[in-house]
């Protein structure tokens, strides 16, 4: 299975769940950013262009279903994954806690970018309320989900990696 086929199967499902099923949950603070977790886990496990392609496609899908400005979620997701790719897989593999710290930073950056775009677009936001009711619960929940997603993404990435030729 190639990363492209995996993404084609997984990303639309994540976008639909995140935009239509999760908002129906009775607890607003317990709504994970599924697309962010999946795409960030893939980028942490496999720093390649396919991870950035996943971020681009996933952001487009989320923006299609979002009431916010088109491109805001794409920008936030792409910047977070670009940063994860820039740092690179060797660093993430160096210590098992580093991907979790990267997730905390990534979730905070994702929401900061999205809220910043909303402000630029003229939306009225209370930063304290957004931080306490959206960002902090998202950091906790998404990081908890990353405990499952990252090892799974690493296992899949290793299975579909191109075979290495040694001399």
Average pLDDT of the chain to the nearest whole number: 86
The fraction of the chain above a pLDDT of 70, given in percent, is 90
* Cα–Cα distance, 79 to 65 (Å, whole number): 20
The residue with tokens 């998202």 is: 138
Is residue 164 helix, strand or coil?
A: coil
Please name the residues in contact with 90: beta carbons below 8 A apart, sequence gap of 6 or more. Answer: none
Contacts from 68-71 at CB under 8 Å and sequence distance 24+?
68/114, 68/117, 68/118, 68/121, 69/117, 69/118, 69/121, 71/117
Closest CA to 104 of 56, 153, 142, 161: 142
The stretch 94-99 carries a mean pLDDT of 80
| pLDDT band at residue 3 under the 50/70/90 scheme | low
- Specify the pTM: 0.87
Residue 100: predicted pLDDT: 86
Q: Which two tokens stand for residue 66?
A: 């979002």
Domain ranges of the chain: 3-159
165 band by pLDDT with thresholds 50, 70 and 90: low
Q: Are the C-beta atoms of 68 and 61 separated by less than 8 Å?
A: no
Whole-number Å distance between alpha carbons of 125 and 136: 16
Number of neighbours of residue 33 by Cβ within 10 angstroms: 26
């Amino acid at each position: 299975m190639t990363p492209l086929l995996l993404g084609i199967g997984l990303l639309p499902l994540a976008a639909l769940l995140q935009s239509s099923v999760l908002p129906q949950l009775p607890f607003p603070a317990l709504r994970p950013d599924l697309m962010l977790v999946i795409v960030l886990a893939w980028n942490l496990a496999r720093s390649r262009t396919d991870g950035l392609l996943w971020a681009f496609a996933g952001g487009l899908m989320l923006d299609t279903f979002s009431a916010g400005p088109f491109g805001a979620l794409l920008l936030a997701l792409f910047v977070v994954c670009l940063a994860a790719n820039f740092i690179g897989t060797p660093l993430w593999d160096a210590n098992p806690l580093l991907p979790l710290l990267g997730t905390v930073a990534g979730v905070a950056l994702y929401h900061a970018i999205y809220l910043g775009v909303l402000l630029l677009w003229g939306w009225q936001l209370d930063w304290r309320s957004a931080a306490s009711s959206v960002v902090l619960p998202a950091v906790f929940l998404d990081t908890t989900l990353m405990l499952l997603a990252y090892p799974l993404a690493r296992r899949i990435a290793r299975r579909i990696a191109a075979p290495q030729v040694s001399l």
